[in-house]
């Protein structure tokens, strides 16, 4: 990890992403609380949270845009647009403008799919193929570490100084990210404009590639099951805290912080684990670890739950690093936006379904039984991934036309050199 961070471009790139993520997470947490304070309505606060997810469901469509243009320029513009959207929230002064919060939240989630898709594609432009797991470990360390400060940065600032201060703070993070992006130099391949067709056909090309490539198809199946469980985690953990430990629901912030510590540690060692276990092996170990720590939520002691949350964070980093690396290695850079969009759609839809299912199941199941059910689901996903096998590894990922019929990686001819062995397009200051 230290070696990778000696590259100034890579360090600057991840610092930029981390600064943006800090503002995003803080605002997401604060907006629902703000709506609740303005209206007194829990349902409207929930609607605001749903608005974010609704915007993110458009990721497959925005993925087409990501693959049509230069990603660095697109990322710059998406940050500018997001900053403008955030500043619109300064117009909110009472319950009569709650509709504006919900609309901005939806659009904020939508622009977020553009920026995260562009980031996912840019990683392959600046990180050598054999260092992707290490880069993804850095990303997870930063993202999980954000959990240590986003509760205070979001809800804490909202309670202390008011919602408009949170809005200005988030806008400031975008401004910093924009300035940092202006200092970043990446030489990207020119998008094939002559091959551009109707967006629906380009979208279908990305979806077909994802469905027909064995490694990506397996990732989709595993993500469907695990994100369903992740959606049930919030209702489950709240029940663990209130019914099991007899603490107020506000302790959710405490256990989230513990999870962030574990996640940051998991990200730090993820690259080493990937070298020993392989990307798939690390993902399988991460899933089994999540199943084990998830079952530990049933233990009725604070120490056990704290250890379980730290372990959950640790193994979720392995799960995400392994999944991201597999996705990157099996996707041509020309399709990164669309493949990311397809995977993101599965994650968001499954998590939304899990939120609804978890809210229902906590009413009919004792929290320990729900913990065992979630644990068993993740264990089955781990078993499936372990037994499915990787299929034929992609031996080539040639540059493909966005209008072309893209074959799965397993069907590509062996004599074509691997994209991972080609020189990386990059520029140093």
Q: What is the pLDDT of residues 132-187, one digit of tens each?
A: 888 888 888 888 877 777 766 777 788 788 889 989 999 999 999 999 988 888 77
Statement to judge: residues 58 and 111 lie in one domain: yes
Whole-number Å distance between alpha carbons of 56 and 69: 20
Question: In whole angstroms, how far apart are CA 194 and each of 118, 206, 401?
Answer: 21, 18, 9
State the CATH number of the domain containing residue 285.
1.20.1250.20
- Mean of per-residue pLDDT scores for the chain: 83
Residues 346 and 318 in one domain: yes
Choose the final residue of a domain: 136, 158, 188.
188
Question: Model confidence over 34-78: pLDDT tens digits?
Answer: 888 888 887 787 788 788 888 888 999 999 999 988 899 999 999
Q: Measure Cα distances from 109 to 51, 91, 120, 193, 399 in Å.
A: 8, 19, 16, 28, 30
pLDDT over 50 at 381, yes or no:
yes
Q: Do 122 and 143 belong to one domain? A: yes
Question: In this structure, are 179 and 205 located in the same domain?
Answer: no
Return the higher-pLDDT residue of 135 and 88.
88
The per-residue pLDDT for 397 is 43
Q: How far apart are CA 420 and CA 257, in angstroms?
A: 37
pLDDT tens digits for range 201-220 = 888 988 999 999 999 999 99
Say if residue 22's pLDDT is above 50. Answer: yes
Return the percentage of the chain with pLDDT > 90, whole number.
38
Q: Residue 413's pLDDT band (boundaries 50, 70, 90)? A: very low
- What band does 404 get if pLDDT is binned at 50, 70 and 90? very low
The string of pLDDT tens digits covering residues 277-297 is: 999 999 999 999 999 999 998
Tell me if 385 sits within 8 A of 280, measured CB to CB: yes
Q: Are 261 and 302 contained in the same domain?
A: yes
User: Which stretch of 50-59, 301-310, 377-386, 398-407 has the lowest confidence by average pLDDT?
Assistant: 398-407
Question: In 297-394, where does DSSP find H-type helix?
Answer: 302-329, 336-364, 367-388
Q: What are the structure tokens assigned to 412, written together?
A: 């590509």
Q: What is the pLDDT of residue 250?
A: 66
Residue at 422 is within a domain:
no
pLDDT tens-digit map of 253-280: 677 788 889 999 999 999 899 999 999 9
Residue 233 confidence (pLDDT) above 60: yes
Q: Is residue 397 a part of any domain in this protein? A: no
Distance CA 265, CA 279 (A): 18
Q: What is the CA radius of gyration of the chain?
A: 21
| N- to C-terminal Cα separation, the chain | 21
Return d(Cα 416, Cα 405) in angstroms, integer: 18
Same domain, yes or no: 177 and 256: no
Tokens representing 352? 């939304």
Domain boundary residue among 131, 164, 188? Answer: 188
From CA 106, how far away is CA 96, in angstroms rounded?
18
CA dihedral sign of residues 153, 155, 159, 162: positive
| Assigned token pair, 48 | 């605001």
**300 lies in a domain?**
yes
Could you tell me if 4 and 149 lie in one domain?
yes
Q: Does 15 lie in the same domain as 164?
A: yes
Q: Is residue 136 included in any domain, yes or no?
A: yes
Produce one character per residue of 175-189: b if its CB has 16 or more CB atoms within 10 Å, e if not.
ebbbebbeebebebe
418 has a pLDDT exceeding 50: no
Average pLDDT estimate for 247-257:
75
pLDDT exceeds 60 at position 405 = no
d(CA 345, CA 57): 5
pLDDT of residue 5: 66
- For residue 423, pLDDT over 50 is answered with no
CA angle 258, 264, 267 (to 5 degrees): 140
The whole domain housing 220 covers 198-391
**How much is the pLDDT for 195?**
60
Residue 131's CB is within 10 A of a number of other CB atoms, namely: 18
Domain total of the chain: 2
Kindly state whether residues 148 and 217 are assigned to the same domain.
Answer: no
Taking each helix axis from N to C terminus, what angle separates 98-126 and 336-364, rounded to the nearest 10 degrees? Answer: 130
CA torsion, points 173, 174, 177, 182, in degrees to nearest 10? Answer: -140
Give the residue with greater pLDDT, 419 vs 244.
Answer: 244
| pLDDT score of 185 | 81
Give which of 1, 26, 28 is closest to 14, Cα–Cα: 1
Closest to 57 in 3D by CA, of 15, 106, 2? 106
Mean pLDDT confidence for 95-101: 92
What is the pLDDT, as a whole number, of residue 240? 85
Question: What local confidence, expressed as pLDDT, does residue 403 receive?
Answer: 38
pLDDT higher than 90, residue 251: no
State which of 188, 213, 235 marks the end of a domain. Answer: 188
The residue among 248, 201, 247 whose CA lies nearest residue 405 is: 201
Same domain for 203 and 287? Answer: yes
pLDDT in tens, 300-322: 888 888 899 999 999 999 999 99
Instruction: Say which residue, 408 or 301, is predicted with more confidence.
Output: 301
pLDDT score for 1:
60
Verify that 122 and 144 share a domain, yes or no.
Answer: yes
Residues 6 and 72 both lie in one domain: yes
- Please indicate, yes or no, if residue 412 is contained in any of the structural domains: no
Q: In a 10 Å sphere around its CB, with 0-12 CB exposed, 13-18 middle and 19+ buried, how is residue 374 labelled?
A: buried
């Amino acid at each position: 990890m230290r070696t990778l961070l000696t590259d100034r471009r890579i360090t600057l790139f991840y610092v930029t992403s981390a600064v943006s993520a800090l503002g995003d997470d803080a605002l997401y947490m604060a907006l629902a609380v703000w709506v609740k304070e303005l209206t007194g309505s829990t349902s409207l606060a929930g609607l605001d949270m749903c608005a974010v997810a609704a915007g993110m469901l458009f990721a497959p469509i925005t993925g087409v845009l990501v693959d049509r243009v230069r990603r660095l320029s697109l990322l710059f513009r998406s940050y500018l647009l997001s900053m403008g959207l955030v500043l619109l929230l300064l117009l909110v002064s009472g319950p009569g403008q709650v509709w504006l919060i919900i609309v901005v939240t939806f659009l904020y989630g939508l622009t977020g799919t553009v920026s995260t898709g562009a980031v996912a594609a840019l990683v392959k432009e600046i990180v050598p193929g054999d260092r992707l797991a290490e880069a993804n470990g850095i990303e997870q360390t930063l993202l999980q570490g954000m959990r240590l400060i986003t509760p205070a940065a979001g809800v804490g600032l909202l309670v202390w100084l008011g919602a408009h201060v949170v809005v200005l703070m988030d806008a400031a993070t975008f401004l910093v990210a924009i300035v940092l992006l202006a200092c970043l130099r990446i030489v990207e391949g020119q998008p094939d404009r002559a091959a551009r067709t109707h967006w629906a056909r380009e979208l279908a090309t990305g979806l077909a590639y994802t469905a027909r490539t064995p490694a990506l198809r397996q990732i989709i199946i595993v993500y469907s099951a695990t994100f369903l469980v992740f959606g049930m985690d919030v209702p489950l953990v709240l029940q663990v805290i209130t019914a099991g430990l007899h603490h107020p629901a506000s302790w959710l912030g405490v256990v989230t912080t513990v999870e962030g510590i574990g996640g940051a540690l998991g990200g730090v060692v993820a690259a080493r684990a990937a070298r020993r276990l392989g990307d798939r092996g690390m993902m399988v170990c991460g899933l089994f670890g999540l199943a084990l720590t998830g079952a530990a939520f049933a233990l009725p002691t604070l120490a056990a739950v704290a250890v379980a949350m730290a372990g959950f964070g640790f193994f979720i980093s392995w799960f995400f690093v392994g999944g991201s690396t597999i996705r990157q290695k099996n996707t041509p850079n020309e399709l990164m936006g669309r493949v990311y969009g397809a995977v993101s759609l599965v994650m968001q839809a499954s998590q939304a379904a899990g939120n609804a299912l978890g809210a229902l199941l906590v009413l009919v199941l004792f929290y320990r039984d729900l913990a065992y059910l979630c644990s068993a689901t993740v264990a089955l996903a781990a078993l499936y991934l372990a037994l499915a096998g990787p299929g034929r590894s992609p031996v080539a990922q040639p540059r493909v036309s966005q209008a072309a019929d893209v074959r799965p990686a397993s069907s590509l001819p062996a004599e074509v050199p691997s994209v991972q062995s080609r020189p990386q397009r990059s520029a140093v200051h």
